Chain A
Amino acid sequence: MTDPIVIERLSKEYGQYVALNDLSLRIEKGVCVGYLGPNGAGKTTTIKILTNLLRATSGRAYLNGEDVINHPKSALDHVGAVVETPEFYPQLTPRECLSYIGTIRGMKSSAVAERTHAVLEQVKLLEVVDNRTRTFSKGMKQRLAIAQALLHEPAVLILDEPTSGLDPRGMVEVRDMIKELKKTDITILMSSHLLNEVQEVCDKVAIIDRGTLLTYDSVQHLSATKGTTVVINTLNPITAAEFRAVKALRGVRALKRIETLTLVAQLDGGTKEQFTVLRGILATGVKVTSFIPRRGAIEDVYLSLIPEGEF
């Protein structure tokens, strides 16, 4: 079976400026991929080409095995997308906008009505279903955009910075929605410049900078190779014997006391290893009050791959 999203040697030039440089990416079914990169890296450009908003200078892109560039109609058939923050027709209500989009996608009116209720409930816009979108805030438009992308239960979901424009609660809600969707076999490509978001939500991460793909790997694998830095606070000052015991634990690469009650530990691996180490520390009798991973593994990879002074 073909992979749901296939990008082959894609390039996009704006005049002299190369926004995408020979980019290839293949995303397997059922995987949620975070598309990470600094501002201007080419994330939106990639997504616009995938969604028939932009023509590539060269290269190919396939959605569900169909060529987006030459056969956009069939390629976009089972795709839902949110690109930038779309605007809605101000004269229409969410119900009418969804009905318009749903009918274009070939949904029956009964299915549209049923799904409209479901998706608007999901994004918490049910109360304004019959209000004109003219008055909607940016956050409401963003949520309506997510609702329309999910309306026809697409096999592939393409999201460009889905949490941008949302307040903190809205961000959490959208992330929870995506996590909920991952329980189905939907394939998701979501761009983001938020490292913690990608680490929290996605299975795999593709990092792009200046139009070039730098790495494409699973979040777990990246965590396992990069390790984690953990800040440990204790109730009492740690004794020399306790310090040696903790340092000797398996999985602890390095340990440093930075304040009376604060240690910084360099650990191998990801969350699993963190758990083992924490259990080991508690077993030595040290009274731990907090145990906080300082930076995500993705952040380490990101910072090592992307040169300074870019954002």
Chain B
Amino acid sequence: MAPSSARQIGTVVKYELLKYLRGRRLLAIVLLTIIISSIFLIVPPAIGTQYEKDPKEFIGQMLGFLGILSILSATFFGADAIVSEFESKTGFLLFPNPIRKEVIFGGKFIASALVSVGTIALYYAIAITSVRVIDGSIPANTGLSFAYALAYLFAILAISYLFSAIMSSSVYSLILTFFSFFLILPIVDAVGSIAKFKPWFSITFAAGIATYIFDIPYPTDKAFTTTTGPQAASGASQTLSLTQYYPEVQLSLYVMGAYFIVALILSVLLMRRRQM
């Protein structure tokens, strides 16, 4: 008799993790996390400047690559998780077994979530340790920041699974995932700032809560103008009015939760329907 679905999920997680350990991506992202973090520790002494004294500012610097690391995790561990079984024909081996597709999906998602959370946790651990050692204290809200970072991570990981359930090729799914979060949505966010609409629905905009939470009090939207072109004296100057929008914490968490749930449900349905 085939085991229960719960035990089969455990098996899938175990072997997915083994595949990560053997592959290059996990090693690459761990190395990248360490290298990024070291830059902020090595550069100031090397060029003869002091470390940032304010722990809040310092952790802000250290966590400056949070977005890109989250995007890389989602890309590396989520973006080809489903499509690769179909594209590289390993599905011919896995699917004709007494196991539900949802169980395969669940095991894969848990395994990729574990390594992605591990990556972000390592990043925070290095940042927190450095700030603690160099500045002597840990800024307020660091725990909340970590929690928000994970909320963002889960949301984009789920979306990367959705791409991997839709796309017919691993390469396209990897590219789509990376550029959606790295380029396309950030452009939407920037346009919002000029066109005066608040991109509260954008997942990359919402991601800001993980770093803004260090600001006390929490920042609110601000309008400001900049002058461009020749100086006012010539009479041809243009003023550009922009608004600096800040994501609201609660709304952003709802947005992330909604992306997570909808993307996950859609990807399971699509994977079930998908044929070899």
Q: Which residues of B contact A53 (CB under 8 A)?
A: 91-92, 95-96, 275-276
Q: DSSP majority for the B interface?
A: loop
By the criterion CB–CB under 8 Å, are A104 and B99 in contact? yes
A257, chain B: closest CB distance, angstroms: 53
B276–A54 contact, CB under 8 A? yes
Of the candidates A76, A88, A97, which one forms a contact with B96 in the assembled complex, judged by CB atoms under 8 Å apart? A76
Contacts of A55 in B (CB 8 A): 273, 275
Given A91-B19, A104-B11, are A76 and B88 neighbors across the interface (CB < 8 Å)? no
- A12 to chain B minimum Cβ distance, whole angstroms, is 10
State A55–B19 Cα separation when bound (angstroms).
29
Q: B270 to chain A: closest CB distance in Å?
A: 13
Give the residue name and chain of the A residue nearest to B99 (CB).
A104
Q: Which residues of A contact B133 (CB under 8 A)?
A: none
- Which residues does B use to contact A, with CB under 8 Å? 1-3, 8, 11-12, 15, 18-19, 22-23, 88-100, 273, 275-276
Given A73-B98, A100-B15: A88 in contact with B93 (beta carbons within 8 A) = yes
Contacts A/B (CB < 8 Å), 26 sampled:
A48-B275, A53-B95, A53-B276, A73-B2, A73-B100, A76-B96, A77-B98, A83-B96, A84-B92, A85-B89, A86-B90, A87-B90, A87-B92, A89-B19, A91-B18, A91-B19, A92-B15, A97-B93, A100-B15, A101-B93, A104-B3, A104-B8, A104-B97, A105-B2, A105-B98, A148-B93
Q: Tell me the complex Cα distance, A75–B88, Å.
A: 25
Q: Is A105's CB under 8 angstroms from B97's CB?
A: yes
Give, as a whole number of angstroms, the nearest-CB distance from A248 to chain B: 56
- Rounded to whole angstroms, the CA-CA distance of A85 and B89 in the bound complex is 8
Which chain A residue lies CB-closest to B20?
Answer: A91
Verify A51–B96 contact, CB threshold 8 A: yes
Cβ of A51: which chain B residues have Cβ within 8 Å of it? 95-96
**Is B22 a contact partner of A91 (Cβ separation < 8 A)?**
yes
* Majority DSSP secondary structure for residues of A touching B: loop
Give B96's nearest chain A residue, CB to CB.
A51
Residues of B within 8 A of A48 (CB): 275-276
The complex places the Cα of A75 from the Cα of B1 at a distance, in Å, of: 11
Q: Are B96 and A81 in contact (CB under 8 A)?
A: yes
Query: Looking at A55, A83, A89, which has the most chain B CB atoms within 10 Å of its CB?
Result: A89
